[in-house]
Structure 1
Amino acid sequence: MQLRKKFICSYLLLATASVGAHESTELSAVEVRARAENLEGIAAAGSEGVVSSQRLAAVPILRPGEALEMVPGLIVTQHAGDGKANQYFLRGFNLDHGTDFATFVGGVPVNMPTHAHGQGYTDLNFLIPELVDRIAFRKGPYFAEEGDFASAGAAHIDYFRRMDASLAQITLGEKGYARSLLAGSPEVGGGNLLYGLELFHNDGPWAVPENYRKFSGVLRYSQGTRNDGFSLTGMAYRGQWTSTDQIAQRAIDSGLVGRFGTLDPTTGGETSRFSLSGEWAKRWASAQTKANVWWLKSSLDLWSNFQYCLNDYARSGTCDTGDQFKQGERRQAGGFALSHTVFDRWGAFEVENRIGLQGRIDRLYPVGLYATAGRQTVGTVREDRVTQRSLGFWAQNETRWTSWFRSIHGLRADAYDFDIDASLASNSGRASDQMVTPKLALIWGPWQKTELYLNYGHGFHSNDARGTTITVDPADGTTPVQRVKPLVRTRGYEIGLRSEPLPGWRSTVSLWQLDAASELLFVGDAGTTEASRPSRRRGVEWTNLYVLADWLAIDADLAWSHARFRDHNPVVGDHIPGAVTTTANIGLTLDHLGPWFGALRLRYFGPRPLVEDDSVRSRASALTNLRVGYKIDQRTQLALDVYNLFDRQANDIEYWYDSQLRGETAASFDRHVHPTEPRTLRLTLSHRF
């Protein structure tokens, strides 16, 4: 297959037929190219797309969660140990660990509601990137099929059903890095049995070795395709690590610790995730039915220390135990999703009517916050038993009015029910909420390989169940705390344009705005709720792919956003802390240079306000990653990945808050940082058999 075809297949950011009901057949690379050049009837928004397995295979990925950086405008970082969920940024949001961006793997949701550490916690460390078939993404609350956490966007990651060949791979790197992978998909009983087994260890550049050890496994049996067939998938993951959390800048400046040092060598975590899921799809001449059912069991024990001695001094006037705390939970969850699509004609108009039903239940026994010292529990702040249920119904109509104009109308209704049995009786109770969210898309074109999109829609995210029944601060049992609404509404608008201005150059532009009624959230570090203000974010995204030759392609994703609180406060300020303004992800990919291949990528992560009055801002960072590969033969290749090629001393994350170091007489507000890893080399040997 020529590289031009491969690139166009790999960069399916402009060819989105595989999202939703439009995907009626499995396309070959040549067919994908043809559909990419004929955009009619494919996408519902300019910011909708698909990233293929070839796209992922072409770029160096430092952490599994960075697979989501292939979604234009999305930045993935880390503020603690690599075993913890990543930090995500998109469209002016500091998404924390996943709130407002919904993620699914193999039909199983990754976001965890009412999580011990953060609402919508999205831990992708179980992901095996080499097994990813595609990432279908959508941005904005314009899609009836997407529910909780999807206001900023959603990504559906799916594994292969069949691999072209079995894969044995080993990667070695600096600082104790070792990773091995064995995967394949033999034919069994008229279908394919996909398997993948990953073993991993890494110490990282930290003064206290991370000693991150993990096991990940996938087993999937499938027959047919994702549109006319079935699959049964099991996934397993277990990890444990020692964490170097963000550090007060003054501790580094004074020489108390080095840049990669720690102020608490016992922080870290242990986690596990096991899931089973089944997917079934049937395509008839004029209809499509899909069903999905899933179950998961997960656990987390996370020890952190962000303020060092602040609370300990306040309690006892000394720093005997410090401010370490543990967030822990044991969870079982299950759910389903059903959809039915009818392809019909209403008079002279082609129509597509879709309905769907989704449900989920989470049981946490328990979910808690504990005071600890050296990972030993010294007190319980709160420990709850929580049951959370949700049910969503959606309907959508797509009508093609003319050869150049179509519309998509959708309506979604969601109902939530929370039952909390708290360790403090006054914080126990039940809560419920419902929300109806309309959706609309108008699409014109294509004309001269150009299509225009106009989108409008309402969305929502759920709040932590514990915040819906809380009445007093669990730390002292007396201070009144205001409850939060279970569901928070969002409203979005978008104008999108996708075009092929020159042969081989595909480009999309999206202008968007997103309003949130409130940014209420549950602060897991304190066990209380924190009320924030209504907000407005707007911005522009520009995504490009230019295939210059059969051996060379350039891609560039550029994004700018403006985020402010809507209730103007001249005293406090209107900036939203952590809201990134500018991002860029630019890549150069080469292949068919004899046995050589490679990639060069630049990621720019712009400055963010750290406080509401914008008096303190984070520093920008620009990181470059390089891959150089050599094909030993048709089945064996060697690749060298160099991360942070120019060894920039940047920060993955920056915060502004108060803390107190051991020996200090008072607390100080300061910049708290988690450094980007220095230049890192990893060598991978891959063999297909």
Structure 2
Amino acid sequence: MKQTLLFTICLLLFCSTVHAHLGGSITGTIVNNTSEQPLSNVAITLKSPQKVIYTNTLGKYRFDKLMAGTYQIEISLLGYVRQTISVVVQEDQAISVVTKLLPTAIALSQVTILQPQTEDQQLISSLDIKLRPITNSQEILRLVPGLFIGQHAGGGKAEQIFLRGFDLDHGTDIRLSVDGMPVNMVSHAHGQGYADLHFVIPELVQNVDFGKGPYQVSQGNLATAGYVNFKTRSTIDSNMIKLEAGQYDTYRAVGIFDLLGERGKEKQQSAFIASEYSFSNGYFDNPQKFNRLNLFGKFHGHLSEATRLTLTGSTFYSKWNHSGQIPDRAVASGLIGFFGSIDPNEGGETSRTNLNAELVTVTPNNNVIRHQLFYSKYDFELYSNFTFFREDSINGDQIRQKENRHLWGYNGSFTSNLALGNKELTSTVGIQYRQDLTKETELSHTKNRVETLEQYQLGNINEINAGIYIDEFLQLSPQWTATAGLRFDVFRNQYENLLTTPASKANASASILSPKLNLYYTPSTQVQIYLKSGKGFHSNDTRVVVPQNGRQILPAAYGSDLGFVWKPYPRLLVNAAAWYLWLEQEFVYVGDEGVVEPSGRSQRTGLDLSIRYQLTDYLYADADISAAKSRALGETEGQYYLPLAPLLTSAGGLSWQGAGRYSGSLRYRYMGDRPANEDNSLVANGYFVNDLQANYSFKKQQLGLSVQNLFNTRWKETQFATESRLQTEATPVNEIHFTPGIPFFARLSWSLFW
């Protein structure tokens, strides 16, 4: 009896296995017709039975368990001609097809909202990067809807960032990366999360992947307000030389050169090098003497049919003077002009060298394996004076912040697809590791950049962050999709204090678990509704958590979004969301003063709205509007404002593309008034600024005119409530200190392509 039962079970298993292998399959590859390089995230729609999938990082897709017959497959990607192909499938056979897509002009009518495509596919970002090519380094971050930046050190220092009711300083609660390599510097000499993107050559940015809120499981530390990953080009369309010249002794040169040519296309490989040099004296009364040099090289190609290797190397150096933040009273009294300075010896010097290697393999079962190794050598030295003569009435309060850093790490993941009846389950397991070693991270009192008067802090940092995550993407039905994820992070912080005798060394460790759950409902190709929820965190500076024996190393952040993507008309796309974010605790290290400022619990709520509209075949309009309410919890009435948190921002404009030789854009940026201190007694004034870009193309050449602050508005780009004392004053004064925004600034450019 037992033998008969065992035989029956084996027979049933055998039959089910045979049945599982019945039917044919279609394996396809999508490539660019010009470069022959694979195209990822291409929408592949099987007409009957209706099913939508997307090409992977190698441009491949696969349909299994198909009955014998002829199938219609529609292939679409923004910026390429949509194609429909017919494929004949025979029983128990695998059919392989290669499709080449032709580039075409952008049209909003091309955009469809498909399942299992989610809002995270960045429809808005895909449109913007094609309609508004980046022309300068500041425009890189402005590609993120609702994100504002401010420069308060003459262009050499990392920008101050504002997003979703946050004054993010230089990156405290936003995670920035380039090709998966981290940009943020933890436990930085100038402050936690410092993110300097100036090592990126703007013309090489191909795509921007971003998300607002703590909802993406692959994004860990600092991804509370959101994350941004800039992807550089894997191939170039042509060689290019670009020369720019403008007001204020401003000059820039860019060169991009293909190394493989036609030989590379035949092997589906590419290699190129690029370089950028910039110089400017700036619009300040004190000449800026700004210099920046960038070098970049990249190899991208197939080692085999299923394996792709990408190698990237870059180096960057910058040196500058800056006028710093000046007090309102000094300008009002006539002591200095609007573009003047109190301490003319402020400035800095920084460099970064990067190595990045990524290996991607697609298995015969269509699973994707990723390995990434990265390394950075980073140096930073900054001289600032925020309080002038408040602490030292004779020598002044100039400080030096300095560090030398080695950063390396690993990102790895395994993604598999599983059919559960008529449902699809995509599982990703990832591992991430990062280690930062700094030597002689310093905060000192200095004079004229030459003399060191007193060392406030000097030490070595060893910080490790290891994380593991699992992400599940489940298509519940043709209309419903869910993503669920769980992330676990471990931190180990070590600080060696070099100011003690002998040097003292201490450690602190902590861990945190971060769950995420997102739901998407797509009733038609015109609308999608989503609900996101998740827990995130930001780490605190090693110099803060080690003396506190590890308390509050990883305060949590809890957020949720309720929003929709809507395409009511073929040429109109709308994205809107209501959001909420609650932070458990923040201990912020203020690198300018070497102190810790605990800000307690906080709560932020807001609304985001993005609109993209194609007015004619060549004219496009866009607008992003963000409103936020930010409050410190547990504070008394009227004392709960979060300094510099933006309340209302908007950016948008008109873009002219695809109409023969002419292209360009007219844009605006608006930031409303906002509290500068906790009781709102000091207000940071808002601004409204316009920019213009106009291009004329002919015979593989292009002439360009770029104008910032078109109407020469007088505005304050960054503002702070600071207590300072001028040398002639008896007591300190607490008031607004600011960096003036750029006046009318015109640049001409000439580009040659071949």
What TM-score do you get using the length of structure 2 for normalisation?
Answer: 0.83
Cα offset, 1:320, TM superposition: 2.3
Contact 2:134 2:203 in 1 (8 A): no
Contact 2:631 2:642 in 1 (8 A): yes
Name 2:331's counterpart in structure 1: 252
Aligned to 2:536, which of 439, 459, 463? Answer: 459
* Rounded Cα–Cα distance in structure 1 between residues aligned with 2:141 and 2:187: 23
* Rounded Cα–Cα distance in structure 2 between residues aligned with 1:72 and 1:261: 33
Contact 1:337 1:359 in 2 (8 A): yes
Cα offset, 1:25, TM superposition: 2.8
1:573 matches 2:648:
no
Contact 1:467 1:484 in 2 (8 A): no
Question: What pairs up with 1:77-226 in 2 under 5 angstroms?
Answer: 77-187=150-260, 190=267, 191-224=269-302
Name 2:429's counterpart in structure 1: 355
1:506 matches 2:573:
yes
C-alpha change, 1:265 and 1:542, in structure 2 (3 Å) is: same
Name 2:80's counterpart in structure 1: 29
* Paired letter, 1:460: F
1:399 matches 2:478:
no
C-alpha change, 1:163 and 1:47, in structure 2 (3 Å) is: closer
* Paired letter, 2:511: Q
State which drifts further: 419-428 or 286-295.
419-428
1:489 matches 2:556:
yes
**Cα displacement string for residues 432-454 of structure 1 (whole angstroms, at most 9, x for unaligned residues):** 11000000001111325101101
* Rounded Cα–Cα distance in structure 2 between residues aligned with 1:525 and 1:16: 52
* Paired letter, 2:320: W
Q: Quick check: which has more Rg, 1 or 2?
A: 2
Instruction: List alignment gaps of at least 5 residues for structure 1.
Output: 1-11, 313-318, 472-481
* Rounded Cα–Cα distance in structure 2 between residues aligned with 1:398 and 1:583: 34
Contact 2:249 2:279 in 1 (8 A): yes
* Paired letter, 1:291: H
Cα offset, 1:484, TM superposition: 5.2
* Paired letter, 2:651: N
Aligned to 1:241, which of 315, 320, 340? Answer: 320
* Rounded Cα–Cα distance in structure 2 between residues aligned with 1:166 and 1:309: 53
* Paired letter, 2:408: G
Name 1:385's counterpart in structure 2: 460
* Paired letter, 2:741: T
Aligned to 2:696, which of 630, 637, 640? Answer: 630
**Cα displacement string for residues 268-321 of structure 1 (whole angstroms, at most 9, x for unaligned residues):** 000000010101112234311111110000000100000000000xxxxxx321
* Paired letter, 2:474: T
Contact 2:129 2:143 in 1 (8 A): no
Name 2:720's counterpart in structure 1: 655
**Cα displacement string for residues 440-471 of structure 1 (whole angstroms, at most 9, x for unaligned residues):** 00111132510110110000011001101236
* Rounded Cα–Cα distance in structure 2 between residues aligned with 1:378 and 1:344: 65
Name 1:543's counterpart in structure 2: 610
* Rounded Cα–Cα distance in structure 1 between residues aligned with 2:276 and 2:44: 31
Cα offset, 1:657, TM superposition: 1.8
Cα offset, 1:40, TM superposition: 1.7
* Rounded Cα–Cα distance in structure 2 between residues aligned with 1:15 and 1:661: 62
* Rounded Cα–Cα distance in structure 1 between residues aligned with 2:236 and 2:285: 40
Cα offset, 1:529, TM superposition: 1.5
Name 1:8's counterpart in structure 2: none
Contact 1:97 1:122 in 2 (8 A): yes
State which drifts further: 37-46 or 70-79.
37-46
* Paired letter, 1:618: A
Contact 1:263 1:308 in 2 (8 A): yes
Match of 1:545, SS state, is strand
Cα offset, 1:550, TM superposition: 1.5
Contact 1:247 1:263 in 2 (8 A): yes
**Cα displacement string for residues 127-171 of structure 1 (whole angstroms, at most 9, x for unaligned residues):** 111011111111110111000111111111111111110010000
Aligned to 2:418, which of 325, 344, 357? Answer: 344
Name 2:752's counterpart in structure 1: 687
* Paired letter, 2:204: L
* Rounded Cα–Cα distance in structure 2 between residues aligned with 1:569 and 1:273: 45
Contact 1:14 1:507 in 2 (8 A): no
1:266 matches 2:340:
no
Contact 1:206 1:244 in 2 (8 A): yes
Contact 2:668 2:691 in 1 (8 A): yes
**Cα displacement string for residues 511-570 of structure 1 (whole angstroms, at most 9, x for unaligned residues):** 111111112111111222211120011111111111122111111111111111121323
Contact 1:483 1:529 in 2 (8 A): no
Match of 1:65, SS state, is helix
* Rounded Cα–Cα distance in structure 2 between residues aligned with 1:412 and 1:22: 23
**Cα displacement string for residues 167-224 of structure 1 (whole angstroms, at most 9, x for unaligned residues):** 1000000111000000022326642112111111011111111000010010111104
Match of 2:543, SS state, is helix
Question: What pairs up with 1:218-617 in 2 under 5 angstroms?
Answer: 218-224=296-302, 229-284=308-363, 285-312=365-392, 319-376=393-450, 377-425=452-500, 428-447=505-524, 449-470=526-547, 485-570=552-637, 573-617=639-683
C-alpha change, 1:169 and 1:259, in structure 2 (3 Å) is: same
Contact 1:288 1:340 in 2 (8 A): yes
Cα offset, 1:616, TM superposition: 1.8
* Rounded Cα–Cα distance in structure 2 between residues aligned with 1:197 and 1:177: 17
* Rounded Cα–Cα distance in structure 2 between residues aligned with 1:495 and 1:21: 28
With a CA cutoff of 8 Å and minimum separation of 6, indicate the structure with the bigger relative contact order. Answer: 1
C-alpha change, 1:29 and 1:14, in structure 2 (3 Å) is: closer
* Rounded Cα–Cα distance in structure 2 between residues aligned with 1:548 and 1:53: 15
**Cα displacement string for residues 45-94 of structure 1 (whole angstroms, at most 9, x for unaligned residues):** 59886347853754654xx1331111000001112221000000000000
Cα offset, 1:637, TM superposition: 0.9
Match of 1:569, SS state, is coil
Contact 2:128 2:143 in 1 (8 A): no
Cα offset, 1:428, TM superposition: 4.3
| Aligned positions, number | 657
Contact 1:213 1:240 in 2 (8 A): yes
Aligned to 1:665, which of 712, 718, 730? Answer: 730
Match of 1:130, SS state, is helix
Contact 1:49 1:137 in 2 (8 A): no
Contact 2:42 2:54 in 1 (8 A): no
Match of 1:542, SS state, is strand
Match of 2:154, SS state, is coil
* Paired letter, 1:194: F
C-alpha change, 1:248 and 1:491, in structure 2 (3 Å) is: same
* Rounded Cα–Cα distance in structure 1 between residues aligned with 2:123 and 2:592: 35
C-alpha change, 1:15 and 1:489, in structure 2 (3 Å) is: farther
What TM-score do you get using the length of structure 1 for normalisation?
Answer: 0.91
Contact 1:505 1:546 in 2 (8 A): yes
Name 2:63's counterpart in structure 1: none
